[in-house]
Amino acid sequence: MNYKELSHKDKKYLWHPFTQQREWEADPNVPIIVKGKGTYLYDARGKKYLDGVSSLWCNVHGHQVPEIDRAIQKQLKKIAHSTLLGASNEPAILLAEKLIKVAPKGLTRVFYSDSGSEANEIAMKMAFQYWQQVRPARPKKNMFLTVREGYHGDTIGSVSLGGIDLFHGIFGGLLFKTLKVKSPHDYPSRKLSNEKWLKDCVKEAEGMFRKYGSRLAAVHMEPLIEGAGGMLVHPWGYLKAIRRLCDKYKVLLILDEVATGFGRTGTMFACEQEGVSPDLLCLAKNLTGGYLPVAATLATEKVYKAFLGSFESARTFYHGHTFTGNQLGCAAGLANLELIEMNGFLETIQEKSEMLRELLEPLIAYPHVSDLRLRGLMGGIELVKSKKTDEPYSYKMKMGYRVCAEARKMGVLLRPLGNVIVLMPPLTISKKDLARLIEVISASIHRATVRFS
């Protein structure tokens, strides 16, 4: 089918996520992807695009990866799916074993689901139920402490834990209340020293623990950097300090590594960089290399044992999904992890991160670039209308989208977070393509902002 026909049907039948459909329907040049190869995507008109957003932060090794393709094809010759309710399957078992071997110390059990939102919702429910069933039971520990600007998905439970006001404000009446500390990125002291910045952030968190520690079931947060909140970095040492407070006040720590896991920040998991192991770990996106929707919530044996009992005890974790532990997805996950464990893979990410930092440095001199943020191959470029006053572009101006539209003209697909241009290329991106990515972003920022100067 040609581009014109596909475009007509797209605008007639599809409802796209996070998209104002009126504007989408008026755009005559939306990319309709028909093929991918390596770090490039190809649309129905034959135009080639660098996948600058890793197909929404989940692509690890590029598209059409022979090893993952073969793993899925091999599994498809056996069976595509059977339920984990009342039965098990080989790929789910083997992937669970592999995940525990590479996971932070202390995590021993894997509970599968289908998306990052659900992985986080599962962790929240596990933490809540844990305190009802642990011996002795602590039913009053039913509150959650989260970080402002954190984002854990779009289901009601995960929105209650995080949520972006622009996206989720309308659903306020449906949400349950959580306690929130200020995003570490918002502290003025961040512009001084890491020590001062860290001290101020931890002081606020410690105050919340002192006041509510006996009521807290868990702290639920993203480690090192908050993704959808705007690529907001935390001071070094913040995660470790939160772990210490959790231990002191007997509070579970849930880490959302949906975006940061599997090498994105330069280590297998971001929490490793501060020597922290959580009680519950949420994974998705990069788990299958960007191939299929598989997510996982990993738990410690301590948490797991609180759910054991007789059949009639009702201590069971009553949660599941039709495609939990799907064989095709788990086969892709196994192949993905084998590729990540190859010699030098994580080291190359660290090298590219340093290169990316060097390429980005000149952009801070741009009149409308106020901040550059980076952890591994995960970062953001923040745009402002006035650098002198730190005045942001209004939402109506759509500056992030304007920059991405310019990049699209030059063959790079990006997706902004408001006024933040997201840097999230596939982890196997070549240094040549990395340089091109920043070259295009630089030109796009100039072209988009110069019109409103």
**Structurally, how many domains does the chain consist of?**
2
Tell me what the mean pLDDT of segment 127-155 comes to.
Answer: 97
Q: What is the dihedral of CA 127, 131, 132, 135, to 10 degrees?
A: 140
Q: What is the pLDDT of residue 451?
A: 84
Read off the CATH number of the domain in which 379 is found: 3.90.1150.10
User: Residue 444: is its pLDDT beyond 90?
Assistant: yes
Residue 9 lies in a domain: no
Q: What is the pLDDT of residue 167?
A: 86
User: Residue 453: is its pLDDT beyond 80?
Assistant: no
Please name the helix (run of DSSP H) or strand (run of DSSP E) that holds residue 230, with its range, or none. Answer: none
Looking at the fold, whether 223 and 366 belong to one and the same domain comes out as: no
Residue 159 lies in a domain: yes
Say if strands 420-423 and 416-417 run parallel, antiparallel, or are unpaired: antiparallel
Q: What is the DSSP string of 181-241?
A: EPPGGG-GGGGS-HHHHHHHHHHHHHHHHHHHTTTEEEEEE-SSEETTTTSEEPPTTHHHH
Using pLDDT thresholds of 50, 70 and 90, give the confidence band for residue 432. Answer: very high
- Measured in Å, how far apart are the chain's first and last C-alpha atoms? 43
Tell me what the mean pLDDT of segment 138-149 comes to.
Answer: 97
Looking at the fold, whether 324 and 422 belong to one and the same domain comes out as: no
Give Cβ neighbours of residue 65 (< 8 Å, ≥ 6 apart): 289, 335, 339
Helix, strand, coil percentages, rounded to 5, for the chain: 45, 15, 40
Q: What is the pLDDT of residue 152?
A: 97
Provide the CB-side half-sphere exposure for 10 (13 A, CA). Answer: 21
User: Residue 425: is its pLDDT beyond 80?
Assistant: yes
Q: What is the DSSP string of 369-386?
A: EEEEEEETTEEEEEE-SB
Q: Quick: pLDDT tens for 404-424.
A: 999 999 999 999 999 999 999
Looking at the fold, whether 409 and 298 belong to one and the same domain comes out as: no
Tell me what the mean pLDDT of segment 419-441 comes to.
Answer: 98
The CB density around residue 172, as the number of other CB atoms within 10 Å, is 11
Q: Which of 340, 363, 387 is the last residue of a domain?
A: 340
Q: Quick: pLDDT tens for 270-302.
A: 999 999 999 999 999 999 999 999 999 999 999
Q: Say how far apart CA 127 and CA 110 lie, in whole Å.
A: 15
Share of the chain above pLDDT 90, in %: 97
Looking at the fold, whether 169 and 265 belong to one and the same domain comes out as: yes
Looking at the fold, whether 132 and 147 belong to one and the same domain comes out as: yes
User: Residue 349: is its pLDDT beyond 90?
Assistant: yes
Please name the helix (run of DSSP H) or strand (run of DSSP E) that holds residue 339, with its range, or none. Answer: helix 327-340
Q: What is the pLDDT of residue 9?
A: 98
Residue 334 lies in a domain: yes
Residue 336 lies in a domain: yes
The token pair that represents 276 in the structure block: 């922290």
Read off the CATH number of the domain in which 230 is found: 3.40.640.10
Looking at the fold, whether 443 and 393 belong to one and the same domain comes out as: yes
Amino acid of residue 254: I
Looking at the fold, whether 109 and 54 belong to one and the same domain comes out as: no
Q: Which of 340, 371, 395 is the last residue of a domain?
A: 340
Residue 440 lies in a domain: yes
User: Residue 163: is its pLDDT beyond 80?
Assistant: no
Q: Say how far apart CA 141 and CA 86 lie, in whole Å.
A: 32
Q: What is the mean pLDDT of the chain?
A: 97
Looking at the fold, whether 236 and 324 belong to one and the same domain comes out as: yes
237: left (phi over 0), alpha (psi -120 to 50) or beta: left
- Please say whether the dihedral angle defined by the alpha carbons of residues 215, 217, 220 and 224, taken in this order, is positive or negative: positive
Looking at the fold, whether 79 and 128 belong to one and the same domain comes out as: yes
Q: Does residue 225 sit in helix, strand or coil?
A: strand
Looking at the fold, whether 286 and 364 belong to one and the same domain comes out as: no
Q: Does residue 146 sit in helix, strand or coil?
A: strand
Residue 2 lies in a domain: no
Q: Quick: pLDDT tens for 101-120.
A: 999 999 999 999 999 999 99
Looking at the fold, whether 222 and 315 belong to one and the same domain comes out as: yes
Say if strands 48-51 and 40-43 run parallel, antiparallel, or are unpaired: antiparallel
Domain that holds residue 60: 31-64+344-450
User: Residue 164: is its pLDDT beyond 90?
Assistant: no
Residue 3 lies in a domain: no
Strand partners, 110: 298
Residue 401 lies in a domain: yes
Looking at the fold, whether 361 and 433 belong to one and the same domain comes out as: yes
Q: Which of 340, 368, 385 is the last residue of a domain?
A: 340
Model's pTM, two decimal places?
A: 0.97
